[in-house]
Amino acid sequence: MKKILYIAVLVVVVLAMVVPATVTCVRGGGGETVSETGTLTFVDLEGGFHGILGDDGKKYDPINLSQEFHQDGLRVRFEGRLRTDLVSTHQWGTLIQITMIEKIGTK
């Protein structure tokens, strides 16, 4: 009887860990879509990274900015999905997954 109880508790514990992880993966997280223009800037925090200062006054921390856009002062038009389901060590701006970005000049 103790063995069956032990196995039942083990199954419940495993399911309690697996089900939330599966729900998170299926849901994919994320938030609203943004379409904006802004200026790329090098932020000297946490080892340094490139962020976007939006013309709307907001700071965006792109999670998938390609190397060709790592230029301080570069003006860009971008679209992306805000990733409110993720966190970053940068602690600067809102995380965004870029879906489209193009150069529009320099500042």
**Binning pLDDT at 50, 70 and 90, where does residue 50 land?**
very high
Per residue in 51-96, pLDDT tens?
A: 999 999 999 999 999 999 999 999 999 999 999 898 888 889 999 9
Give residue limits of the domains in the chain.
1-29, 33-106
Q: How far is CA 67 from CA 44, 58, 80, 85, in A?
A: 17, 22, 17, 24
Residue listed under structure tokens 């860990």 = 17
Question: By the 8 A CB rule, do 54 and 80 touch?
Answer: no
The length of the chain, given as a count of residues: 107
Torsion, Cα of 34, 37, 39, 40 (10° steps): 40
- pTM for the model: 0.69
Q: Domain 33-106 carries which CATH code?
A: 2.40.50.500
Buried b (16+ CB within 10 A) or exposed e, 24-41: eeeeeebeeebebebbbb
